[in-house]
Amino acid sequence: MNWSFSKMHGAGNDFVVLDGVRQSIEMTPERARALAHRQFGIGADQILLVETPSHPEADFKYRIFNADGSEVEHCGNGARCFVRFVHEQKLSSRNPLKAEIATGLITLEEADDATVTVNMGQTRFDPEAVAFDTTDLASAQDHDDTLWSLPLANGDTVSLSLVAISNPHAVQIVDDVATAPVAVQGPLIESHPRFAQRINAGFMQILDPHTIKLRVYERGAGETLACGTGACAAVVAGIRRGRLQSPVTVHTRGGQLAIAWDGHGQIAMRGPAVTVFSSEINIDRLVAQYRAGTAL
């Protein structure tokens, strides 16, 4: 079966985007892993699927699969590519669009300067929102933010702000993102046993109240060049800890994102969306090649 797709990225966070409206696409974890595989597949951090919505006010349903095949609640950089894809593929000319995600609706709007602004949906700060087990753990309360001191398996202890942008994030402040132990602490935080659904691990360097640098070790994908929900989570954590003021420019390894948050409502994120190429692929042959390649 042949699937047409677009290869896209938002600030270097890259995606395979599929039209599940005009094509019959049944996504499985293995198919997502095969499409995302950097050697045996197309290569991507996430696979994005556009579908017919079930929510009455939505224009489309927006589904996200990580490179490890896990289906997740949200992807901010992907949302910008989603609306660009819908317009480029002439699935709809509506602008702004409403997309249905796991926790409700998000609004996506393309601007004339080729950037896209997304209202990122609900934000939560309670440990339950990130499936964090707080049993026997004293929270180091910091301002009005819960700052959790978490021992890691390698002997490090980290201070984490927990924020859900529909998907879960654990954000820490570091002196210098360039030397932050992302490769060591990232996987230990991502798969820490107290996070029942795993978590995205953010490392934020504050340059001034309106500017940060950020690296994110993503759940199910590893470190990416940018993470949209991670940028939102970092800005929210910084504002709630009295260290940042809206709007905030987030410098990532793949580009810049502009985040605005009034302290209680939705978060708005603006940034780039780029189509690298469009093509089609035989998914059955791809999965067979992926199985053969990864069997060793």
Ligand X SMILES: N[C@H](CCC[C@H](N)C(=O)O)C(=O)O
**Contacts to ligand X by CB under 6 A:** 13, 45-46, 64, 66, 72, 75-78, 167, 200, 218-221, 224, 227-230
Find out whether 117 and 109 touch, Cβ atoms under 8 Å. yes
Question: What is the amino acid identity at position 57?
Answer: E
In order of 2, 32, 97, 242, 295, the CA distances from 292 in angstroms are 20, 16, 40, 52, 5
The least distance separating ligand X from the CB of residue 271, rounded to whole angstroms, comes to 9
- Per-position b or e across 247-258, b if 16+ CB within 10 A of its CB: ebbbbbbbbebb
Q: Which is nearer to ligand X, 106 or 147 (CB)?
A: 106
Q: How far apart are CA 48 and CA 5, in angstroms?
A: 10
Q: What is the Rg, in whole angstroms, of the alpha carbon atoms belonging to the chain? A: 19
229 marked among binding-site residues: yes
Q: Which of 34, 101, 204, 227 is catalytic?
A: 227
Find out whether 168 and 195 touch, Cβ atoms under 8 Å. yes
Q: Which is nearer to ligand X, 66 or 161 (CB)?
A: 66
119 marked among binding-site residues: no
| Angle at the Cα of 177 from the Cα atoms of 173 and 179, rounded to 5 degrees | 115
Catalytic site includes residue 232: no
Q: Which is nearer to ligand X, 68 or 109 (CB)?
A: 68
Q: Which is nearer to ligand X, 69 or 78 (CB)?
A: 78
| Largest interatomic CA distance in the chain | 55
The least distance separating ligand X from the CB of residue 92, rounded to whole angstroms, comes to 22
The least distance separating ligand X from the CB of residue 141, rounded to whole angstroms, comes to 26
Catalytic site includes residue 75: yes
Find out whether 41 and 290 touch, Cβ atoms under 8 Å. yes
95 marked among binding-site residues: no
The least distance separating ligand X from the CB of residue 35, rounded to whole angstroms, comes to 15
218 marked among binding-site residues: yes
Please give the structure tokens belonging to residue 128. 């339950």
228 marked among binding-site residues: yes
- Which residues are part of a known binding site? 13, 46, 66, 76-77, 167, 200, 218-219, 228-229
- Which residues are part of a known binding site for substrate? 13, 46, 66, 76-77, 167, 200, 218-219, 228-229
Task: Please give the positions annotated as active site.
Answer: 75, 227
